[in-house]
Chain A
Amino acid sequence: EVQLVESGGGLVHPGGSLRLSCAASGLTFSGYWMNWVRQAPGKGLEWVATISSDGSQKYYVDSVKGRFTFSRDNTKNSLYLQMNSLRAEDTAVYYCARETRRRLDWWGQGTLVTVSS
């Protein structure tokens, strides 16, 4: 069975940095595009970033461009989201999700990022 396990969330001050990880198992990881989606407390879903199967293509929502960097290591079946210059509005549960046939068909349980002084 596919498993996606996020880690690295926590409390960080505004302007600080955090690196999220997502460990994947039960799938041929290198064959899939992957995504980060976030959900602020009590709010809806917001797509954050997408990375191609080989890591050569990356796309970001405008609000994180220049601050967040999405990467992957296919030898370790892992994704990474480096988040810099964090703002209060970045506070959310961050989910990693597998993309198959233009849908997010498998999601992790999420990791909570709280940006607060």
Chain B
Amino acid sequence: DIVMTQSPDSLAVSLGERATINCKSSQSVLDNSNNKNYLIWYQQKPGQPPKVLISWASSRESGVPDRFSGSGSGTDFTLTISSLQAEDVAVYYCQQYYGSPPWTFGQGTKVEIK
């Protein structure tokens, strides 16, 4: 099974500052046949189900603010919030969707306001 490891477990960032979350997979999630990384980022606010932010490692979902961006390839990925807003306080998860199940999640990164 592919193990997903996020870092840090939590971070506190001042409003308007940049937040960076890393996600590392134990094996590549890049499909060389189509050059797609099967890596998803979700945001989960308290008391709510998760919401997709980024798919294919860097493709922002419709309606997601452009302060959210995803990057990386192969085994190393990053979610960046360029200018943290109060409404971005949440737990962020990466998930791999490579090959066949199990579809594993990272342990989550909690983002708070400093």
Q: Are B101 and A50 in contact (CB under 8 A)?
A: yes
Within 8 A of B (CB), among A65-117: 95, 97, 101-105, 107-110
* Bound CA span A60–B1, Å: 12
Known: A44-B93, A44-B107, A103-B97. A110 touches B49 (CB 8 A): yes
- Asked if B108 is an interface residue, CB under 8 A from chain A, the answer is yes
What are the interface flags for A9-53 relative to B under an 8 Å C-beta threshold, 1 for contact and 0 otherwise? 000000000000000000000000001010000001111001000
Interface SS of chain A: strand
- Taking a contact as CB atoms closer than 8 A, the residue among A62, A101, A109 that contacts B49 in the complex is A109
Counting chain B residues whose Cβ lies within 8 A of the other chain, the interface size class is: 20 to 34
Interface SS of chain B: loop
The residue of chain A having its C-beta at the shortest distance from the C-beta of B93 within the complex is A45
Q: Are B102 and A62 in contact (CB under 8 A)?
A: yes
- Asked if A2 is an interface residue, CB under 8 A from chain B, the answer is no
- Taking a contact as CB atoms closer than 8 A, the residue among A44, A46, A103 that contacts B40 in the complex is A103
- B108 to chain A: which residues have CB within 8 Å? 44-45
Known: A44-B107, A44-B108, A45-B50. A102 touches B101 (CB 8 A): no
Q: Are A103 and B49 in contact (CB under 8 A)?
A: no
- B97 to chain A: which residues have CB within 8 Å? 102-103
Chain A residues with a Cβ under 8 A of chain B? 35, 37, 44-47, 50, 59-62, 95, 97, 101-105, 107-110
Chain B residues with a Cβ under 8 A of chain A? 1, 38, 40, 42, 44, 49-52, 55, 61, 91, 93, 95, 97, 100-108
